[in-house]
Amino acid sequence: MVSKLDILINAGELRAAQARPLHFQMAANSSTSTNDRALSTATSNHFFEWREFLWGAIAGAFGEGMMHPIDTIKTRIQSQAILYGSQNQKSLLQMVQSVWKIDGLRGFYRGIAPGITGSLATGATYFGVIESSKKWIEETHPSLGGHWAHFIAGAVGDTLGSFVYVPCEVMKQRMQVQGTRSSWSSLPMKNNISMNHGGQMYGYYSGMFQAGRSILKEQGLRGLYAGYWSTLARDVPFAGLMVMFYEALKDFTEYGKQRWMPNSDVNSSLEGLVLGGLAGGISAYLTTPLDVVKTRMQVQGSTLRYNSWLDAVRTIWRSEGTKGMFRGSIPRITWYIPASALTFMAVEFLRDHFNERLDDESKIEAATLSGDSKGTMREAALTARD
């Protein structure tokens, strides 16, 4: 029930507001405007989704760390033609047995430090830019909405991450093919693959930083960014396809739930696990030929074997055919299905468990600011009335 005192106070506030000086009214308006901006910021991140950068970095590193041994096998299978020659190349099972016999468990995890570092960068830009770009494209270019927006957002995010990812990928893959010091020293063909200056292919890398310094010293930035354009040629379509397939599968799943299971409550983390794995596996297979070219150009460094990306494609196709272009497709798919599944699952989990909490805290903070502002204005009105 409203008391007589409240009515008198409200009436006094109105009269005081009408009578107060212009600068006082401007200050009140400024306070209200500031409060509105705070509420707007608290309820929407608009185009810049900073949390998606963080969740993407964590998820990317998690996926890479879990699946690195399979990536090592894939890299070694694809680079056999350079290091051992095109004849008598090992199958998937033979390569696993070879790595275990010669290098042990350590061989499977060679290059994991640059691998995780690169995944931190590309995961952050991939998911962060995806969310920001999707909103921007859908609001400013409606004709590119839907799956085209997803494809473009994924491609842009991965392209930005490539500036950090590619040097890490070069270091990671060279460390993967080297294995232990003794196995690298015994490779029969590596001394026959000369660089532009006619020296040995490259020395043994004891760690990530030593590898980076060595490549930079011997080959400059060109060495660290070996195969950069072939990496973009692989990753831009892969990144675009993966997010496009993921969003399409989510739409299809949502349609199925509404039609056949309207009352179901599927856990978003589980949904991300299944749909992310499918999207990653399909995209990985379709882009395997691009991955083969990229791997061989990065493993060999700046050698005379392939003069360009197109020369690599022609040489591989001429000497090894379709089998050569899709070499390593099984371990690539085997890596990307669980890696993508774990990555999308981790992102959905982090979104569910932290985004809502952070939004609630922002709303509470904004509401507190709003309450403080209203209280200050009320006190000012009472003072002005007195």
Give per-residue pLDDT as tens, 189-233: 555 444 444 445 677 898 999 999 999 998 889 889 987 888 888
Sequence-distant (6+) residues with CB within 8 A of 138 are 144, 145, 149
What pLDDT score was predicted for residue 25?
Answer: 42
Could you tell me which CATH class the domain 48-193+204-358 is placed in?
A: mainly alpha
Q: What percent of the chain has pLDDT over 70?
A: 71
Confidence at residue 168, expressed as pLDDT on a 0 to 100 scale: 94
Q: Hey, what are 383's tokens? A: 């003072």
In terms of average pLDDT, the best of 273-287, 335-349, 367-381 is 273-287
**Over the range 93-104, which residues count as b (16 or more CB within 10 Å of their CB) and which as e?**
eebbebbeeebe
Q: What is the pLDDT of residue 203?
A: 79
pLDDT value of residue 274: 92
pLDDT exceeds 70 at position 356: no
Ranking 188-192, 239-243, 303-307 by mean pLDDT, the lowest is: 188-192
Q: How confident is the model at residue 182 (pLDDT cuts 50, 70, 90)?
A: confident
Percent of the chain scoring above 90 in pLDDT? 16
Q: What's residue 195's pLDDT?
A: 45
Residue 376 reports pLDDT greater than 50: yes
What pLDDT does 283 receive?
A: 94
pLDDT at 20: 44
Look at 22 and 229; give whichever has higher pLDDT.
229
Average pLDDT, the chain: 76
Q: In this predicted structure, what is the pLDDT of residue 21?
A: 43
321 dihedral zone (left: phi>0; alpha: psi -120 to 50; beta): left
Give me the amino acid identity at 245. F
CA distances from 117 to 169, 188, 239, 304 (A): 9, 31, 18, 30
Average the pLDDT over 253-266 and give the result.
80
Least confident interval from 5-9, 321-325, 336-340: 5-9
The pLDDT tens digits for 27-67 are 444 444 444 444 444 444 444 567 888 888 888 898 888 88
pLDDT at 369: 56
Q: Are 340 and 242 in contact (CB under 8 A)?
A: yes
User: What is the structure's pLDDT at 287?
Assistant: 93
d(C-alpha 154, C-alpha 162), whole Å = 12
How do the domains of the chain map onto residue ranges? 48-193+204-358
Residues 63 and 119 sit within 8 Å (Cβ to Cβ): yes
- What pLDDT, in 10s, does the model give residues 96-134? 998 999 889 999 999 999 999 999 988 888 888 777 777
Predicted confidence (pLDDT) at residue 288 exceeds the cutoff of 90: yes
The predicted pLDDT at position 81 comes to: 73
